[in-house]
Chains A and B, each alone.
Chain A
Amino acid sequence: MPQFFLNKRLIILLVSIIILVALIGFSLRDRDRLTWPEQFVKDTTGWVQTIFSRPAHFVAGFFENVTDLQNTYDENKQLKARLDGLAKLEADVQQLTKDNKELREILDKQDTLSAFKPIQATVIGRNPDRWHELLIIDQGEINGIKRNMAVITANGLIGKVKSTRQFTSTIQLLSAMDPTNRISARIEGGAKTYYGTIEGYDKDRELLKMKRIPYEAKIEKNQLVMTSGLGGIFPRGLPIGKVVEVVPDEYGLNQTAYLKPGANFYDIEHVMVVKREMLQPDLGEMIDEKEEEL
């Protein structure tokens, strides 16, 4: 067998397969931070991406504006119809906000789970191979972005921050196939509020899956789903989507709801990273205590 082991190419191939497996294993670990060479490379390319993406978006925006002009007449009609209801809605909102504030003052409870500070960011890159649904944005740690923060557009939640560098960060969309991507959510609009977790995405139907809803819950179509704020990092009340269908889960113990996401996962240019104002509980402590009890 000496000849077999002397074959240089074969040895190179075998060694590189070992390195491949080791590297994939290393990067699939639940990493808190990227290593510093990765951060350096990503920040440097992020800078180049910014230079390229600004003019590209400008040109694309121009063509989009031209196509928008063609729909203006129809849109204007629809918007006018909705305008009548708007004045009343606005008055109601003002009244309610005032009431809410006054009541809070009476209760002496200032902090809420729903208070948040948005950080504006622009998308400068998207993963081209489309196995991983990742976006790169032009704001990083120096702007106050941390891992696992919620990311929204004007229409609703789109994902969370996967990793951060000094000047850029990576967002993982809700449509990514990642079993660790879970968000505590609640269904509103019915007689009772029900809680569940957003887990997974149905690629064919383009619907989000909300699992672990109690079996006795009565949920109708078009009920709103929002974040609950109980996960510890996301604020309360970020819109996620609307219920399309509810089915019992595979063992019949819980229900699974299919949601139509409010935000479009494709046409994303500007996003907001959401920083919760209320204190974040230290999850590490909670888990340690539990383990001691066991």
Chain B
Amino acid sequence: MRKFLLPTIFLILFIIESIFVELLPAELFNSANILVPRFLIIAILFLTIYGIRNQGIIYAFIFGLLFDIVYTEIIGIYLFMFPLVAYIVSKIMKVFHSHIVIVTVVSLIGVALLELSVYEIIYLIKLTTMDFTSFLQLRLLPTIILNLAFAIIFAYPLKRTFEKYTAAITNE
């Protein structure tokens, strides 16, 4: 049972991201602001911080590949960025004490980093013509706010789940 806990959580978040975008009210959607749900990477970052680091990076790798194949059909971008962000965040957390507020802020920094680097790659391969200032205003800021809301609601449950999971694994 415990074996399937993490894959199930991540898979549900993976699918919820798509459903969230599909069902987002049209007024929010039609406005110039672009809200991007990044729930999956937040959960993976929490696992990297509260659970076992290498496991977090492996999940980042697997779900990055899945994200690329299923949603974007361009393999490589998320496959590369998810593990990299997880790795950088784990390095940042070596400096800080893992208090829940700090972890939330750091995982949002991770989300910002992911958005920024994905924008750079997409811009480089000319799939968008959005300039940097409008990217910051229209995309990055609303995305951060949306994911902040998600992180505030789910930070504690995620922390509990991953800590329990790690404790159970190390006891065995």
- What residues make up the interface of A, taking CB atoms closer than 8 Å to B? 16-17, 19-24, 26-28, 34, 38, 41-42, 45, 48-49, 52-53, 56-57, 60, 123, 125-132, 134, 136, 162-163, 170, 177-178, 203-204, 206, 264, 266-267
Contact = CB atoms under 8 A, between A and B. Distances in A.
B75 interface: yes
Contacts of B77: 20, 24
A152 to B, nearest CB: 18
B36 to A, nearest CB: 6
A204 B137 CA distance: 13
Contact of A123 (B22, B26, B37, B69): B22
Interface string B113-142: 000001001100101111000000000000
A23 B22 contact: no
Contact of B118 (A27, A127, A131): A131
A23 B26 CA distance: 35
Given A27-B73, A45-B66, A266-B26, A177 B80 contact: no
Nearest to A129: B36
Contacts of B72: 127, 129, 131-132, 134
Contact of A41 (B66, B80, B128): B66
Given A42-B70, A131-B128, A266-B29, A27 B18 contact: no
B65 to A, nearest CB: 8
A280 B17 CA distance: 38
B15 to A, nearest CB: 5
A130 B21 CA distance: 9
10 contacts: A17-B80, A27-B74, A48-B11, A53-B22, A125-B71, A126-B21, A128-B71, A129-B72, A177-B129, A267-B29
Residue with the greatest number of chain A CB neighbours at <10 A, chosen from B23, B36, B130:
B23
Contacts of A264: 26
Contacts of B76: 19-24, 27
Contacts of A162: 73
Contact of B15 (A38, A52, A57, A266): A52
A125 B18 contact: yes
B5 to A, nearest CB: 17
A170 B26 CA distance: 22
Interface of B is mostly: helix
Nearest to B121: A24
Interface of B: 11-12, 15-23, 26, 29-30, 32, 34, 36-37, 66-67, 69-77, 79-80, 118, 121-122, 125, 127-130
A266 B31 CA distance: 11
List the 3 shortest-distance A-B pairs measured between CB atoms, nearest first: A23-B76, A128-B17, A125-B18
Given A132-B72, A132-B127, 20 more contacts: A20-B77, A21-B76, A23-B76, A24-B75, A27-B75, A28-B125, A41-B70, A42-B70, A49-B18, A52-B16, A52-B19, A56-B23, A125-B71, A126-B22, A127-B71, A127-B72, A130-B21, A131-B122, A163-B73, A264-B26
A49 B70 CA distance: 11
Nearest to A123: B22
B127 A177 contact: yes
A16 B32 CA distance: 35
Given A24-B77, A162-B73, A128 B26 contact: no
Given A24-B75, A129-B72, A266-B30, A60 B15 contact: no
A122 to B, nearest CB: 11
A26 B71 CA distance: 17
Contacts of B74: 24, 27-28, 132
Contacts of A134: 71-73
B124 to A, nearest CB: 9
Nearest to A176: B127
A279 to B, nearest CB: 29
Contacts of B79: 20, 23
Contact of A130 (B26, B34, B70): B34
